[in-house]
């Protein structure tokens, strides 16, 4: 299954990492369709994030990493910091004000990668952007 992501006029398609993170993919799919805001991450380098507050998804670590590549989406299930989706667009070390974190790599962008750096520039210099996720 794929996920279609829209940010302004930018379109991305990501494949779910269902074999490596089945529980995280199921939890993410339960949130769809999702329309929210994407903002620049404060602690993680070249990444944006979607804060989900105290949302409890019943997840632990699964296919987790602190060093996602551009386009490798992470879902952090909460604990040390709030629940969130991390959207790396360049060099990233996932962290919060409490220190380094690890998030569950649940999806990988395979269409639109050439616009990831542009996405980062828009979020960094223009602020929060509307983002939507839908399944296909």
- Please report, in tens digits, the pLDDT of each residue of the chain (136 residues total): 899 999 999 999 999 999 999 999 999 999 999 999 999 999 999 999 999 999 999 999 999 999 999 999 999 999 999 999 999 999 999 999 999 999 999 999 999 999 999 999 999 999 999 999 999 8
- For the entire predicted model, the pTM comes to 0.97
d(CA 55, CA 61): 16
Dihedral angle computed from the Cα positions of residues 30, 35, 37 and 40, in that order, rounded to the nearest 10 degrees: 50
Task: Return the CATH fold of 2-135.
Answer: Cyclophilin (2.40.100)
Number of H helices, E strands in the chain: 2, 11
Residue 71 CA neighbour count, 13 Å, CB half: 19
Residue 85 gets the label, from left (phi > 0), alpha (psi -120 to 50) or beta, of beta
What tokens does 118 get?
A: 């542009």
d(CA 41, CA 58): 24
Q: Where do the domains of the chain lie?
A: 2-135
């Amino acid at each position: 299954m794929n996920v279609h992501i829209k940010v302004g006029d930018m379109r991305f398609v990501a494949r779910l990492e269902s074999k490596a993170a089945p529980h995280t993919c199921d939890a993410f799919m339960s949130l769809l369709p999702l329309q929210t805001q994407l903002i620049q991450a404060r602690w993680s380098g070249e990444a944006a994030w979607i804060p989900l507050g105290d949302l409890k998804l019943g997840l632990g670590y699964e296919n987790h990493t602190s060093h996602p590549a551009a386009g490798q989406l992470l879902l952090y299930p909460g604990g040390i910091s709030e629940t969130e989706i991390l959207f790396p667009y360049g060099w990233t070390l996932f962290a919060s004000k409490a220190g380094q974190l690890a998030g569950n790599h649940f999806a990988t962008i395979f269409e639109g990668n050439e616009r990831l750096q542009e996405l980062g520039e828009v979020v960094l210099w223009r602020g929060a952007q509307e983002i939507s996720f839908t399944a296909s």
